[in-house]
Amino acid sequence: MTKALIVIDVQNDFCPGGALAVPDGDAVVAPINALMAEHDAVIYTQDWHPAAHSSFASSHPGKAAYEMIDMPYGPQVLWPDHCVIDSPGAAFHPDLGLSGDLIIRKGYRRQIDSYSAFFENDQSTPTGLHGYLQERGIGALTLAGLATDFCVAFSALDAARLGYDVTVDLAACRAIDLDGSLQAAIDKMKNAGVALI
């Protein structure tokens, strides 16, 4: 089966020193670079938010980062400002290999966040990635990157629901882990038939 590596959000703001630093986030770069040669296609996602995005705590007076709010599409964690369009924090980590096929940007609509590579957080607005993969005949996906319990897990769950053969390479992922979110994400991925290696 034709297989793709989906590299999730390996951007400066999710690495040490960044605005939403994932502990040890830059440790994913070397294993991800090594995975590229084993795949027929390499696709990157890039978190890409306008200033004053609705997922930023700074857009909600009186709210702090990591609090929850209710959005029209459901509960949403509020984040520090991160991955603002064209900012250095939104750039890929400088050591990430960029010889792959496609970059999918997500989260650029101000009113809706987007964790998954396939759908925005309303679970229905598509990014177009499914159509791209179908047209290329890609049936198997390996996911790696940041963060395990948010963008990687949401992407893996959508991919499983869409019928792909999905593997998450946990050695090439790192988590934010808010209030048990990592264990919850692992349980959901296992239940959905995602292979965790």
Among 44, 79, 92, 118, binds ligand VGL (CB under 6 A): 79
Q: Using CB distances below 5 to 8 A depending on partner kind, what does residue 48 bind out of Zn ion, ligand VGL, none? A: none
For the CB of residue 37, give the shortest distance to ligand VGL in the complex, in Å: 24
Within the chain, residue ranges assigned H as helices are: 29-35, 129-135, 153-161, 181-191
Residues 36-65 that bind Zn ion (CB under 5 A): 47
Residue 146 binds ligand VGL, judged by CB under 6 A: yes
| Radius of gyration over every alpha carbon of the chain, rounded to an integer in angstroms | 16
Q: Which stretch binds ligand VGL (CB under 6 A): 31-39, 90-98, 142-150, 159-167?
A: 142-150
Per the CB < 8 A criterion, the answer to whether 4 and 40 are in contact is yes
HSE, side-chain direction, 13 A CA sphere, residue 70 = 1
User: Is residue 151 a contact residue for ligand VGL (CB under 6 A)?
Assistant: yes
Closest to ligand VGL by CB, 47 or 158: 47
151 is annotated as an active-site residue:
yes
Contact with ligand VGL (CB under 6 A) among 4, 9, 44, 186: 9
| Contact assessment for residue 168 and residue 160, using Cβ atoms and an 8 Å cutoff | no
Residue with tokens 């991925």: 189
- Whether the CB-CB separation of 89 and 18 falls below 8 Å is answered with yes
> Which of 36, 65 has the CB closer to ligand VGL?
65
- Which of 26, 47, 81, 120 binds ligand VGL (CB under 6 A)? It is 47
Q: How far apart are CA 56 and CA 124, in angstroms?
A: 22
Which of the ranges 31-39, 121-129, 147-155, 156-164 carries the binding residues for ligand VGL, by CB under 6 A?
147-155
Q: Kindly state the greatest CA–CA separation across the chain.
A: 51
Residue 106 annotated as catalytic: yes
Is residue 194 within 8 A of residue 156, CB to CB? The reply is yes
Identify residue 131 by its one-letter amino acid code: G
d(Cα 46, Cα 48) in Å, to the nearest integer?
Answer: 6
Chain positions contacting ligand VGL, by CB under 6 A? 9, 14, 47, 79, 115, 146-147, 150-151
Chain positions contacting Zn ion, by CB under 5 A? 47
Catalytic center residues: 9, 106, 151
